[in-house]
Structure 1
Amino acid sequence: MDHAGEMRVAYRGDPAKLFPLALGTGVLGVVTLGIYRFWAKARIRRHVWSKVQLGEDGFEFTGTGLEMFLGFLMAVVALAVYLAVVQVILFAFGIRFIFDPQNEMEELAQGVSIGLSFLAVLPLMLFAAYRARRYKLARTRFRGIRFAMENAAGGYMLRGLFYLALTVGTAGLLWPLMTFRLEAFMTERTWYGTARFRQGGRWSALYGAYFHVLVGMGLLVLAVVFGAMEEGWMAGLLGFVGVIWGMVGLILYRVRAFAYLMSHKEMDGGLGFRAEPRAGSVVWLYLKGVFIVGLLGGIASAVIFAPLGTLMVGIEEASELVQIEIAVLGVLSYLLMLTVFGALTLVFVSQPILGHFVGSVTVTGAEALEAVRQRVSDRGADAEGLADALDMGGAF
């Protein structure tokens, strides 16, 4: 306790413990042709969750690799059927994917097919995002009490499509509205035991965090105008500055939006939050982590590929069987290199940034935790299988 009723949230992760876990499970994933990655994800989450502490108590992840694997298999089948139906509908309207376009019309047809297929998958991505968060909460406990999230993925998907259309239709001006409304929808369907969370604040307050994104967008519009006026050098300069400004603005927006939204959440009983992440620290942690990953990953790559390089000497004169064996070793070496880079990125980029966000949060009115009671286990969460099938999953 820092002050009466206040508790700091802390992340006490140790790179020396996370790296061997991430590397070992990653290697097992390669050996099992990716099947073990579900068990790897469960083990990594159990480790990471346990390092997040509120006061003297840590969080617990109770999900299993088996339920995530089964959820993934069911999602793949459902996704395959859905995409097949989409392609049949497109074909009925004369729109089909052309593997090797021979003229401009076929190239246009290929582009339209890809674009419409992506739009068809977009609702599933929104649906999967809600279900993935619901699963993580349903398998998270604090002081033995479960978190939960109501079964409302369909409603989230429809609202997501509506607000996304508004955002696109206004050239990004209503992005803060989409951010606030979708986060509020999730938050107000989240429970800790018998206590419900609510999202306070106003969506228009996010425009302060969105300012630099708007500046970047404005510079890009000016670049287009100068390009139309055939002022190439000015258009190029404004375009370059606009892209950089916009990218930095997006980082600022994500950090400041997190701070505002978290600081305006509350739970039944008077529990609230205060979040103070710093955008400069996030950027520094990212750049430092990328440098470390590049340095250590480069050394690891040299060690991994050095023996293979020795075997490559005189390969032209080797038998076909030997060439196949060396090719297989090359593929395995490449996969091992990716595993090493993945483990390094998790330890030196993702973990420090997560730690910064977690450590920036203070819980107020913590005495409300004492009145919370256990809730029934949620067996309806689908183990985020659809998010995995759409490659939206992550170690955290």
Structure 2
Amino acid sequence: MTKELYNELYQITFAGQILDGFSEAEVRDNVKALFRISDERTASLFSGAPQTLKSRLSLADAQIYHERLTKAGAQVQISAQTAPAATPERDTGTAPPPASPESRQRNTDATGPLQETPLEFTGSGREYFGIWIVNILLTIVTLGIYSAWATVRNNQYFYGNTRMDGASFQYLASPITILKGRLIALAVLVAYVVLSDLYVEAAVVFAIVFIPLVPWIMVRSLRFNAVNSAYRNIRFGFQGSYGQAFMVAFVWPLLNLLTLLLLTPLVMKKTHEFIANGSCYGTTEFQLKAETGMYYRFFGKGLLIAIAFGVAAFLAMRYVGFTVGSIIAAVGYLTLFGYFMAGIANLFLNSVHLDSHNFESRLQPPQMVWIFLSNSFLVVITLGLFTPWAKVRMARYRAACTSMLVSGDLNHFVAAEQNRTSALGQELGDAFDVDFAAI
């Protein structure tokens, strides 16, 4: 066989030795948790005989495995191996790849086992209150100029306290960039108000000219928010086009009106596709894999809920009393509110894939309604002072109901992205931090 048919690969070997500062029991527990293996298999790894834990790795991947196992207290070795390039990769050992202790096996498909890696929000209302109140006071004192710094501090707090697989998300935007974008928006608004007072015709022309800018602002906003978000030092990105944004902003809504709202589920799907398919993590693109029928079934069920409560409220008002009918109508509204608030997020996240990885959202409508109502009540009776606790409470629940289903090893995925994105430019452009999201 010729030399070209071989690639230089590496393997991780372990002979049961532990590093200084660790006890054997501690290392056994760490290795067992990392590899998710039985007590018998763990004992065999510590028998003293050299064993291959993982083979056919690139040097970067082997170094990641070495780091994870070293932190667990295991003295492992990286050694080179030569293997045919055309042969599919396989492990010579029987242990699965390392994962965080909180990850657990969910199911198996053609690409390998999916490990459920849950999100976790670690912030507290008391801690966030200090950031929130200072942001408000400084924004007032500076006549709104500090609002850009307030936005960054808020996002950094919520990103930094959202963790997955032992790592936090990052928000990297510059307050100066956001301030410049807001000053431009303010200048445009002032110009429009002045023109409206002086020349009505000029104001109309101004509004007409502004309409084509809406899709451009949508794309810039999504791109800015994405590229300033990162996980494990890899930035997200958004590559959606102006034409796609124009369809979502104008064409599909217009067609929906012309068909008497019969296209509402399709319009929602097109919006989700625009956001998901245009997004990427490093150089790997997200993809929405959902059938149009799923959206029609979701909205159809919502319509049936609305009709059922509407008929019940009408009959109660006519034959029982206005109060009873009003109560039924209120319960129906809250039921519908929770159904869409939780259901749209579940529908979107459960349909999103990132390469061979996907996501799971398990938000419950009753819980969402309860958190929303109780938060609103407490914010009102505390004259707004409960707001930090309300935001933290909702963020904690959303994170607790969201997981990433990782195919194989997330470390391998991250290492590959770091290698491929290291040479990418970091031109962020102007900030248009407009809130435009799928859920």
TM range (shorter): 0.5 to 0.7
Checking the alignment, whether the CA contact within 8 Å between 1:216 and 1:249 is kept in structure 2 is yes
Q: State the Cα distance separating 1:243 from its structure 2 match.
A: 7.8
Q: Name the counterpart of 1:53.
A: 163
Q: Name the counterpart of 2:300.
A: 211
Helix, strand or coil: the match of 1:53? strand
Helix, strand or coil: the match of 1:71? helix
Q: Name the counterpart of 2:391.
A: 350
Q: State the Cα distance separating 1:197 from its structure 2 match.
A: 0.7
Checking the alignment, whether the CA contact within 8 Å between 2:222 and 2:436 is kept in structure 1 is no
Which one of the candidate residues 248, 251, 256 is aligned to 1:162?
A: 251
Aligned pair 1:383/2:426, yes or no?
no
Checking the alignment, whether the CA contact within 8 Å between 1:148 and 1:378 is kept in structure 2 is no
> TM-score when scaled to structure 2?
0.62
Checking the alignment, whether the CA contact within 8 Å between 1:214 and 1:246 is kept in structure 2 is no
Checking the alignment, whether the CA contact within 8 Å between 1:212 and 1:246 is kept in structure 2 is no
Checking the alignment, whether the CA contact within 8 Å between 1:7 and 1:54 is kept in structure 2 is yes
Q: Output one character per residue of 1:350-394: Cα deviation in whole Å (capped at 9) or x when no partner.
A: 332232222212111252344323352442443225x3xxxx589
Q: State the Cα distance separating 1:39 from its structure 2 match.
A: 0.5
Q: What is the CA–CA distance in structure 1 between the aligned matches of 2:305 and 2:210, rounded to whole Å?
A: 29
Helix, strand or coil: the match of 2:120? strand
Q: State the Cα distance separating 1:188 from its structure 2 match.
A: 0.9
Q: State the Cα distance separating 1:9 from its structure 2 match.
A: 1.1
Q: Name the counterpart of 1:265.
A: 352
* Structure 1: stretches of 5+ with no match in the other structure: 97-112, 227-231, 298-340
Q: Name the counterpart of 1:255.
A: 342
Q: Output one character per residue of 1:126-182: Cα deviation in whole Å (capped at 9) or x when no partner.
A: 554443232111101111111111152453133321121133333433222111111
Q: Name the counterpart of 2:417.
A: 372
Which one of the candidate residues 123, 137, 145 is aligned to 1:13?
A: 123
Q: Which amino acid aligns with 2:237?
A: A
Q: State the Cα distance separating 1:83 from its structure 2 match.
A: 7.9
Superposed, 1:102-181 pairs within 5 Å as 127-150=216-239, 152-181=241-270
Q: State the Cα distance separating 1:186 from its structure 2 match.
A: 1.5
Q: State the Cα distance separating 1:216 from its structure 2 match.
A: 6.7
Q: What is the CA–CA distance in structure 2 between the aligned matches of 1:252 and 1:121, rounded to whole Å?
A: 35
Q: Name the counterpart of 2:9.
A: none
Q: Output one character per residue of 1:273-313: Cα deviation in whole Å (capped at 9) or x when no partner.
A: 1111111111111111112212322xxxxxxxxxxxxxxxx
Q: What is the CA–CA distance in structure 1 between the aligned matches of 2:258 and 2:326, rounded to whole Å?
A: 22
Helix, strand or coil: the match of 1:256? helix
Q: What is the CA–CA distance in structure 1 between the aligned matches of 2:197 and 2:227, rounded to whole Å?
A: 35
Q: What is the CA–CA distance in structure 2 between the aligned matches of 1:49 and 1:278, rounded to whole Å?
A: 23
Helix, strand or coil: the match of 1:165? helix
* Structure 2: stretches of 5+ with no match in the other structure: 1-102, 106-112
Helix, strand or coil: the match of 1:35? coil
Q: Name the counterpart of 2:370.
A: 284
Q: State the Cα distance separating 1:50 from its structure 2 match.
A: 0.3
Checking the alignment, whether the CA contact within 8 Å between 1:213 and 1:245 is kept in structure 2 is no
Distance 1:296-1:378 versus aligned 2 partners, 3 A rule: same
Q: Name the counterpart of 1:275.
A: 361
Q: Name the counterpart of 2:89.
A: none
Structure with the bigger percentage of helix: 1
Q: Output one character per residue of 1:247-279: Cα deviation in whole Å (capped at 9) or x when no partner.
A: 6424312311211221111112x1111111111
Helix, strand or coil: the match of 1:372? helix
> TM-score when scaled to structure 1?
0.68
Which one of the candidate residues 104, 121, 126 is aligned to 1:2?
A: 104
Q: What is the CA–CA distance in structure 2 between the aligned matches of 1:120 and 1:253, rounded to whole Å?
A: 35
Checking the alignment, whether the CA contact within 8 Å between 2:162 and 2:168 is kept in structure 1 is yes
Checking the alignment, whether the CA contact within 8 Å between 2:124 and 2:389 is kept in structure 1 is no
Q: Which has the larger radius of gyration?
A: 2
Helix, strand or coil: the match of 2:375? helix
Q: What is the CA–CA distance in structure 2 between the aligned matches of 1:13 and 1:184, rounded to whole Å?
A: 31
Matched-pair identity in % = 18
Q: Which amino acid aligns with 1:142?
A: Y
